[in-house]
Amino acid sequence: MATDAQQLRQRFLLLGAGTVLALLLLLAVVAGNAANAYLRQQAQDRGRDVVIRAASAVTAYLHERRREAEALAASPSIVAVAKTASQNAVKQKLPQYDVPTLERLFSRTRELGGGPDVGSYLTDYTSHSDFVRILLTESHGYSVMGSERAAAFAHGDEPWWQSTWSQGEYVSSPESDRESGVLSMEYDVVVRPNRMVQPSGVLKAVFPLEQLRVLIAGATLGDRAYLEVVDNRGAMVTAPNGRDLLKIDSIATSVPRADTAVAVSVSTAQGDELVTAAPTNDGAWRVLLRQPAAKAYAGAAKAQRAIWLGALALLLVSVGMLWGLGGWLNQRVTEPVREAGRIAGRIAAGDLSVTVAGTRERTAEVAELISSIQSMVVALRRLVGAIRSAADESAAMASE
């Protein structure tokens, strides 16, 4: 009986623990995968929000510089100076000379000049503007004046001037400025009061790109995450390390181009990275948010680990509860039934002196069974007593 009870208890524990383990494993897998997928998506969405805001800031800044250059080129004083300088160049028959001759003739000033007031205005303009250099040329490409001494006098055969004169504007690629040595770009526009008037010259405005790094530096990023801006070739316009400027970023070439923000995982020599990209500068450039995948998805991994630890703790609690339930069933059901079996065995062997203990905890049904056995023992004792009395009386009568 004891062995059967122990086996029953073990089977109960094994069956209960196996069922709980299977359910908790299923729950942990489903909940862990769902939490992991949700938090990974959240990390990607946060990255998209960051690059979209940064891309908007970059685009707005570049548009402001373009509008500023256009407004400056359309100012009446600039238009008047360019027109007068063009007329003076014709009067002096400068178009008849070749470029080397012109450079020799104007080697001292390298400009035609157009009045000290406008010259002072352009020089002062760069002190309170993002433009670091402004150059005004007339309709033949000759330097009129600028914020500083021009590098040459004749610019009519240079690609930037020809492109601006024919198309109305020219936007250069980011490059290291020859004058200042910093990374910069230029917006060149024709000089005219409105589009209905023939241009009278070209205005060249150069501005550094350091402000872009300042604009995107205020973004709230994750652990070991950083932003960078790359041009259409994948060259870095901004970078955490200034020595990497204009270097081709291999990661940028691996990220597909799209009209909206995209997030992809890219394998690098340092491990997987989560790279989020968004177009900027009217789609010509892109803003990249780079972060190690382990750091970007740290929340997802932590949540999944917490779910598994919670499932393990719940499993231990469940096993403990099953163990306690098994002990309770053994005390309230199994042991009383075993006791009833022992009593029944002694009664079957003819021992009617057995007594049933009344202090053990039992269920109502088992208590009723034990009470019935006790009543049966009392009845049997009476019956045996009656039989003995009858036997004694029969023996006495036989003796008489």
What is the chain's mean pLDDT, rounded? 83
Res. 229 pLDDT band, cuts 50 70 90: very high
Q: Considering only residues 233 and 330, tell me which one the structure prediction assigns the higher pLDDT.
A: 233
Q: What is the pLDDT of residues 353-386, one digit of tens each?
A: 666 665 455 567 667 777 777 777 777 777 777 7
Q: For residue 397, name the pLDDT band (cuts at 50, 70, 90).
A: confident
Whole-model pTM: value is: 0.72
pLDDT tens-digit map of 43-55: 888 889 999 999 9
CB atoms within 10 A of CB 349: 9
pLDDT of residue 49: 92
Identity at 239, one-letter amino acid code: A
Contacts of 374-381 with C-beta under 8 Å, sequence gap 24+, read 376/347, 377/343, 377/347, 377/352, 380/347, 380/352, 381/352
Q: Say how many C-beta atoms besides its own lie within 10 A of residue 353's C-beta.
A: 8
333 CB burial (10 A radius; 0-12, 13-18, 19+): middle
User: Does 62 score more than 70 pLDDT?
Assistant: yes
Helices and strands of the chain, counted as H and E runs: 11, 11
Model pLDDT for residues 139-170, shown as the tens digit of each residue: 999 999 998 888 899 999 999 999 999 999 99
Residue 246, token pair as written in the block: 């204009």
Instruction: Give the Å distances, CA to CA, from 204 to 83, 212, 261.
Output: 16, 20, 33
